[in-house]
Amino acid sequence: MKNKMDELFKLARTVEPDIYHVERGLETRVLARLRVEHESLAVWFTWTWRLVPIFAVLVMALGGWYYSVSPNIDMRTAITANYEQSMHLSSLMGD
């Protein structure tokens, strides 16, 4: 049995493998895999950019609603207020 196996291994070493078909489709398979990976990322990126205008309109609508509901707020004072200094002073004073 061992002699028969040695003969088969010797015969298998003499035969050259046919790798022509494997090499022929390698570039196609690699490029197809890269395309699939790239498309999965591109779908997410495309949808985020498509939703940006909707979120911008939503933020503007919320800002307008907040401004119309509370008329006692002076927006100029709220934007130009120096909150960093007042927060620092209140933390020093223990408030």
Which residue has better confidence, 38 or 6? Answer: 6
Task: Report pLDDT digits (tens) over 30-82.
Answer: 888 888 887 777 777 788 889 999 999 999 999 888 878 876 766 677 677 76
Using a cut of 0.75, tell me whether the model's pTM lies above it.
Answer: no
CA quadruple 32, 34, 37, 40: dihedral positive or negative? negative
- The predicted structure's pLDDT at residue 59: 95
44/3 Cα distance (integer angstroms):
61
CB 67, CB 75: distance < 8 Å: yes
87/75 Cα distance (integer angstroms):
19
